[in-house]
Amino acid sequence: MRLVYAADLHGDIDSYRSLLDLATTTDARAAIVGGDLLPHAITLRTALQVQRDFIAEQLRPLLELFRTRHPQIDVYLLPGNDDWAGAIMDLDQLEQAGLAFPLHERVYRLSTTDARPPTTEFNEVVGGRWSVVGGLWLAGYACVPLTPFSIKDYERRDDGPLPPFSFGMAYTSAGGEIQPTDAKVIAAQPSIAEALVALAQRSDPQRTIYVCHTPPFDTPLDTMPRGRHVGSKALRTFIEQHAPPLTLHGHIHEAPELSGRYAAQLGTTWSINPGHDPRRFQAVTLDTDDLTGTMMHTTYGRPNIGLSAED
């Protein structure tokens, strides 16, 4: 199954067009955006409206035209930590119109034929194992480990206590309005580790592609300046324990340029972060039937096959 993947488009409608064009020219079955969908908006008075206007006035018309011309290509959209949940709620309207599938904490059985759309209906568990013969699932999780930034809708504890940040300028918007929050409220939410455990119960992890905005910790995909690593330790543990075939990430824009790698292996799992560069569109194309033979980056080309995440 051919897929195209990008992340961190941040409301750049030209990048959305580039991704959909790439899906068309590569005969992809799905186009996936892995987090930070909407324009950067931190002025509290106008932030929600800025992001909602982008969905209604730019993204929806583009997807309507794309669906008319290419009904066989599905579009999946995962929010990220720069998106307000009060705006992301409007993705439900895109789903109702058949234009896109929201991904956060959703699981879809992927279709490999044009005749059958993706479904969220799950096969029953038989003898402790999912009764899925062939085929793949697609699951999404938007939250990243806590950052010093203000938008907290899609930030969570990783696998331990809260980091020593100030939460004096922390806000959420899940109720449709931007409201201040605090460390006590944030600490009470399910951690990334806990959320991933719940997500794994909804499909067979070894047959599931996970789209997680955060990359796994201490890999080429979460490399920051001065060699720092800021990915999720809980996600790395999850990947090492469950061995999904493929995980797709974003969040750390500069990681591929700094590390020289956009794809890395954790055990048998391939993990990808295409990065983001405002000077040029960055995405990855691949075929799930032959990951190592088909992965291609629009800027960096083929990956370094044979290197583990530690290399």
Query: Is 50 exposed, middle or buried (CB count within 10 Å of its CB: 0-12, 13-18, 19+)?
Result: middle
Residue-averaged pLDDT of the chain: 92
Over residues 112-122, the pLDDT tens digits come to 555 445 665 44
pLDDT at 203 over 70: yes
Over residues 59-89, the pLDDT tens digits come to 999 999 999 999 999 999 999 999 999 999 9
What are the Cα distances from residue 156, in Å, to 103, 113, 183, 231, 248?
17, 37, 11, 12, 19
Q: Which tokens hold the place of 178?
A: 């931007």
Residue 128 has what pLDDT? Answer: 33
Residue 38 has what pLDDT? Answer: 98
In whole angstroms, give the CA distance from residue 67 to residue 73. Answer: 8
Q: Which tokens hold the place of 103?
A: 């991904």
Residue 121 has what pLDDT? Answer: 45
pLDDT at 130 over 80: no
CA-CA-CA-CA torsion for 184, 188, 194, 196, nearest 10 degrees?
A: -80
State the average pLDDT over residues 263-283.
96
> Structure pTM?
0.93
Three-state secondary-structure class, residue 262 = coil
Task: Report whether 221 contacts 250 (CB < 8 A).
Answer: no
pLDDT at 56 over 70: yes
State the average pLDDT over residues 229-245.
97
Over residues 6-46, the pLDDT tens digits come to 999 999 999 999 999 999 999 999 999 999 999 998 899 99
